[in-house]
Amino acid sequence: MDYRNIIKIEKGKRGGQPTIRGLRITVYDILKWLASGMNIETIMKDFPELTANDIKAALQFAADKEKKTLYA
């Protein structure tokens, strides 16, 4: 998935964290909600400005970031 049109990093918004389409919802927020047991449908119900593609983009962004992490 090409998330470059979905994940935005803007200086001064949410401390420069990656956000979804410039909203104030971060990739971290989505990961935290999924880790706590929320499913995609519940997240979209609670945050109707999000789409399933937004959530998938957050997951892909996190996976790509993890892939690039160096471990000692």
For 11-32, how does the pLDDT look when each residue is reduced to its tens digit (9 = 90+)?
Answer: 989 999 999 998 999 999 999 9
* Pair of tokens at residue 17: 């964290």
DSSP count for the chain of H helices, then E strands: 3, 2
Q: Can you give the pLDDT at residue 1?
A: 81
Dihedral sign (CA 1, 54, 42, 36): positive
Confirm if 19 and 29 have CB atoms less than 8 A apart.
no
Q: Give the pLDDT of residue 62.
A: 95
Read off φ and ψ for residue 51, nearest 5 degrees.
-115, 170
pTM (predicted TM-score): 0.87
Does residue 72 have a pLDDT over 70?
no
For 21-63, what is each residue's pLDDT tens digit? 989 999 999 999 999 999 999 999 999 999 999 999 999 999 9
What are the sequence ranges of the domains in the chain?
A: 7-67
Asked if CATH classification 1.10.10.10 holds for the domain at 7-67, the reply, yes or no, is yes
